[in-house]
Amino acid sequence: MALAEMIVLALGLYAGIGVVFALLFVTMGVARVDPAAHGASWGFRLIILPGTVALWPFMLAKWIRGRPT
């Protein structure tokens, strides 16, 4: 039972970090990763939100690398 609790806690922590990161990313970071997304609508940002939550470590790496402007 302890192993199952640790797995659930780890998944919850991963998802929690992902939600916080995704909110920051869709408001500030998406334009840096993809210049075509500059000025994108909130509809687009809502569409990419679940994927950003799930794949936040990869998106963080892309955001850090970014594209020079």
pLDDT tens for the 69 residues of the chain, in order? 899 999 999 999 999 999 999 999 999 989 888 888 888 899 999 999 999 999 999 999 999 987 655
What was the pLDDT predicted at 36? 86
Compute φ and ψ for 41, nearest 5 degrees.
-75, 165
Structure tokens at 69: 């402007």
What was the pLDDT predicted at 55? 97
HSE at residue 5, side-chain half, CA atoms within 13 A, is 2
What was the pLDDT predicted at 49? 96
Structure tokens at 15: 């998802």
What was the pLDDT predicted at 31? 86
Cα–Cα distance, 27 to 50 (Å, whole number): 14
What was the pLDDT predicted at 50? 96
